[in-house]
Structure 1
Amino acid sequence: MDLQHAARMAKTAATRLSALDGATKNEALTQIVKALEADTAAITAANRQDLAQAEKDGLAAPLLKRLRFDEAKIQEACAGLRSLIQLPDPVGVTLSALELDRDLELYKVSRPIGVIGVIFESRPDALVQISSLCLKSGNALLLKGGSEAARTNRILADTITAAATRAHLPDGWLGLLETRDEVTEMLALDRFIDLIIPRGSNEFVRYIMDHTRIPVLGHADGICHVYVDREADLQMAVRVAVDSKCQYVAVCNAAETLLVHQDAARAFLPAVRDAFTQKGVALRGCAATRRIIDIPSATDEDWRTEYLDLMLSIKVVADMDAAVDHINTFGSGHTDVIVTADRSKAVRFMDRVDSADVFWNCSSRFSDGFRYGLGAEVGISTNKIHARGPVGMEGLLIYQWRMMGKGHVVADYSGEGAKAFTHKQLHKRFGQSHAEPTP
């Protein structure tokens, strides 16, 4: 691929995409659903080839699980697309409206970012989610998937591109990179690419951040915690802890550490050990935990490890303050959970835990763009600017200030006898006539 040419085409396509109406974008998404369903046999055949090669190459079990893209996964992806179609067009929304003076109005209007570069590993379903979210939000896209999914990614990109072309989307809005060298080249294309979203290991994300001038949105680790408080319903706590760890272990929102209040530990730990044993989870714990249940010893390294596997570390803590301190010390700012019957304590926990997602009495696995009603997600961000948590369409949008006047000039508002600004909130959308009365 001539990456410079592809990036230039994406930049041009982004300009055209940003002006498309919602009906046209939804028609493209509808065509993509039809194409994915029609091409299911070919897509799954390509994926089986990738899986066979990955097993031969000794790919780790968690990555193999992410790589699988069977009929059920295709149907799940199509369901996400249908949900996305039902959402309102996020582009061109008036976020605020202010009268500066009579017939001088200032609007803040949502706009696409432009060209998004996404680098991800293993999961072909991510390609479908990312491309559909970029399409709906009016962004062009350059994608680089892992080499282990090369066949699956290629047929998915071809299927999506062909379907979108039938709906008259501009050429070049989606480009697929296929070599490692192209990633390095992409990181230097700050003239064309507006945002990079890396999805992968801590080392990989750090490498991306250190080798580009393009803004980077993402997270390095998913070290998530479940804290079981003294006032917790212990049956509920077992259910929440097991789901947080076991519902799907090879993802960034799966729990890696279980924290237990010392007053609940003796009653809770044997029950949760039995539940985890039935799921095949290997446990390790602190000294206080091991005095109650017989499991191997945990080390400081366990507290900062993202297992992405059927492994879990357990620590008994003196109180909620100690749990919060542990999370803020060893966590990655992703998703953390408290199980307690005390609402005020739950609110204090949420106020003090420095994470993008903080939950009360529910599984960490809910930290997901589709479950949040965002349509899907392009990634998870632990950043503290622009977007945080599961990044759906809102994370692919920026805003534009638009001012409408009738020959107004700044000189009239400066110096002796200067006119005063009214700065009055307006209750209307950008594009409504100056003469149209405000509701």
Structure 2
Amino acid sequence: MTIIEQIKAAKAATVELGTLNRMQKDRALIAMANALDDNRGAIIDANRMDLKNAEESNLPQAMYKRLVVDNAKIDEMVRGVMSVVALPDPVGEVMDVTELDDDLTLYQIRCPIGMLGVVFESRPDVVPQVMSLCLKSGNCVAFKGGSEAANTIGALFRILSEAAESAGTPKGAFVLLESREDVSAILALDEYIDLLIPRGSNSFVRYIQDNTRIPVLGHSSGICTIYVDKEFDETKALEVIVDSKIQYPAACNAVENIIFDRGTNPAFVSKAIAALRSKNVEVRGDKRIRAIVPDAIPAKESKWDGTLKVDGVVVDPDTHHTAAIRRAVADVVPEGQSDWDEEYNDLIVSVGMVDDLDDAIAFINRHGSHHTDAIITTNKANAAKFAAKVDSADVFVNASTRFADGFRFGKGAEVGISTNRIHARGPVGMEGLMIYKYVLIGDGQVVKDYVGKSARPFKHTHPDKEYPLR
């Protein structure tokens, strides 16, 4: 079968997959988890081939780290699939009931989106995460992974799809696209694919967004910031800062910028930087940080003071992203090339100082990617202001940015982290793979009775009523 024929077949299978009951789906998920556990050797052997190729081709270190699959990673995959088993079945959930009139009731019912396309780089564990969530939510899915992980992805896909089919899921519900040309093919299939989920680098996600008419769910970068308020617990601050950077530096929820309030004790700033350096983190500091820690690497940063005049008029760069403004700052630091705007995915962090909480919020909303940002504070009012005004999918108080994860959020797994402002935001679990339909159950009612001078009134009440069509 050609790729288009496989996608068409999977699209056709959405009806059958979307109507499997919970017992059938959970049985398939358990079979998938067991298959991962039973085929560790085959998965690790395939991964060794990818790692060897990656070393020979000098794959960037951040991508190499995401590529590695070992027994610990397989343990995580198994736990992730089994955690989806424990989740309730979202298909058919009654979201709302509206009684329009006697014996005329409208039900809002949760249902699968349908056919998904997931395009990703480096991360083989995307396959079990996404396949398990799609199966439980009744969605079919086509995968296109990066060539650097082709062997591992192929092994995982074969093991998981065969296990699912052996437990009764429709054949062809899951598709693996393997050639480079398949990326272009999948982007053009807006007639069959209902939602695209890209996972990878900033440039990769933007390429997907710019080259398809299919709706895209995802984020283009993970530039996460921690702000250390002037009132904070030093012990907690050190723990959160270090964990956010070093627990897994290649992750999109690892911290890239740390900003201190100018009222912070310089001794603590030095202590925090020393703690990071003890974990082999390269620290890049602005002028105020280098006044405290002189040997910090100078951060590339804009010298713009926040006020710009364009054609003699003072403008706000946060809300007026014009070509004139870009020209005005171009001689300082090219747009997007400040260290504050860099997603390192490595043991590197930019450290700066801001005047106050308002300055921190403005900094994050200007330089961040609306992914995950945190405040370290003991001041409840400051925490509340930060949570309300930081425009990010995840806003944390006194907690590591690394908590931004579907599994840790209790979603079983995640298909990705979205910085979109519609449909789904933050770590996206099954709720982001669902949509709804309206089912109206009547008893012969017609609209003509509800219009005109003697129109029958609607009740529009919301009774606690069971959905009768189960």
Residue equivalent to 2:390: 353
CA contact (8 A) 1:265 1:316 kept: no
1:223 aligns with 2:223: yes
Q: 1:423 aligns with which of 454, 460, 463?
A: 460
CA apart distance, 1:432: 6.5
Query: C-alpha offsets along residues 153-204 of structure 1, whole Å, 9 cap, x if unaligned?
Result: 1111110111011111111111001112111011111111000001112221
Give the aligned partner of residue 102 of structure 2: 102
For residues 148-163 of structure 1, the aligned pairs below 5 Å read 148-163=148-163
Is 1:329 equivalent to 2:366 in the alignment? yes
Secondary structure at the counterpart of residue 452 of structure 2? coil
* 1:66-85 CA distance string (max 9 Å, x none): 00111111111101111110
Q: Percent identity?
A: 49
Give the aligned residue type for 1:356.
A
Partner of 1:373: 410
Partner of 2:133: 133
Q: Give distance in 2, aligned partners of 1:180 and 1:340.
A: 48
- SS of structure 2 residue aligned to 1:264: coil
SS of equivalent residue, structure 2 residue 99: strand
In the alignment, structure 1 residue 143 sits paired with structure 2 residue 143: yes
1:192 counterpart = 2:192: yes
Q: Aligned residue for 1:436?
A: none
Aligned to 2:421: 384
The answer as to whether partners of 2:393 and 2:426 remain within 8 angstroms in 1 is yes
Select which of 351, 363, 367 maps to 1:314: 351
Q: Which residue of 1 aligns with 2:298?
A: 297
Distance 1:344 1:100 in 2: 44
1:111 counterpart letter in structure 2: C
* Alignment partners' CA distance in 2, 1:267 and 1:316: 14
- How far apart in 1 are the matches of 2:381 and 2:100? 43
Q: Distance in 1 between matches of 2:300 and 2:459?
A: 62
Consecutive unaligned residues in structure 1, runs of 5 or more: 434-439
Separation of aligned partners in 2, 1:127 and 1:343: 41
Say which SS state the counterpart of residue 237 (structure 1) adopts. Answer: helix
Deviation digits for residues 357-378 of structure 1 (CA, Å, limit 9, x no counterpart): 0000000000000000000000
Question: Cα offset for 1:428?
Answer: 2.5
Q: Is contact 1:9-1:171 (8 Å) kept? A: no
Q: Which amino acid aligns with 1:132?
A: S
Q: C-alpha displacement at 1:265, in angstroms?
A: 4.5
**How far apart, CA to CA, are the structure 2 residues paired with 1:354 and 1:183?**
32
Q: CA deviation at 1:308?
A: 0.2
Q: Within 2, Cα distance between the matches of 1:325 and 1:234?
A: 24
Q: How many residues align?
A: 433
Contact 2:122 2:200 in 1 (8 A): no
Give the Cα–Cα distance (whole angstroms) in 1 for the partners of residues 351 and 105 of structure 2. Answer: 57
Match of 1:112 in 2: 112
- Whole-Å separation in 2 of the counterparts to 1:385 and 1:178: 31
- Alignment of structure 1 residues 186-265 onto 2, 5 Å: 186-265=186-265
1:241 is aligned with what amino acid?
I
Q: Distance in 1 between matches of 2:383 and 2:106?
A: 40
Matched AA of 1:349: F
Paired position in structure 2 for 1:338: 375
Cα deviation 1:133-160 (Å, max 9, x = unaligned) = 1111000000001101111111111101
Check whether the contact 2:259–2:352 (CA below 8 A) recurs between aligned residues.
yes
Does the CA-based 8 Å contact 2:222-2:372 persist in structure 1? yes
Q: What is the rounded CA distance, in whole Å, between the counterparts of 1:38 and 1:131 in structure 2?
A: 18
Superimposed CA distance per residue, residues 385-431 of structure 1 (whole angstroms, 9 cap, x where no aligned partner): 00000000000000111111011111110012000000001212322
Q: 1:395-434 maps to which residues of 2 (within 5 A)? A: 395-431=432-468
- Cα distance in 1, alignment partners of residues 188 and 467 from structure 2: 36
TM-score (norm 1): 0.97
SS of the residue corresponding to residue 84 of structure 2 reads helix
Secondary structure at 2:263 match in 1: helix
Deviation by residue 1:106-146 (Cα, 9 ceiling, x = unmatched) = 11111000000000111111111011111110000000011
In structure 2, how many angstroms separate the alpha carbons of the residues matched to 1:231 and 1:359? 16
- Root-mean-square deviation (CA), in Å? 1.0
1: CA distance between counterparts of 2:469 and 2:211? 45
Candidates 340, 347, 362, aligned match of 2:399: 362
- In the alignment, the residues of structure 2 paired with residue 204 and residue 56 of structure 1 have an alpha-carbon distance, to the nearest angstrom, of 22
Partner in structure 2 of residue 75 of structure 1: 75
Question: How far apart, CA to CA, are the structure 1 residues paired with 2:463 and 2:239?
Answer: 49
After superposition, the C-alpha distances for 1:11-70 in whole angstroms (9 at most, x for unaligned) are 111111111101100000000011111111111111011101111110111111100111
1:66 maps to amino acid: R
Question: How much does 1:267 deviate?
Answer: 3.0
Tell me which moved more, 81-90 or 424-433: 424-433
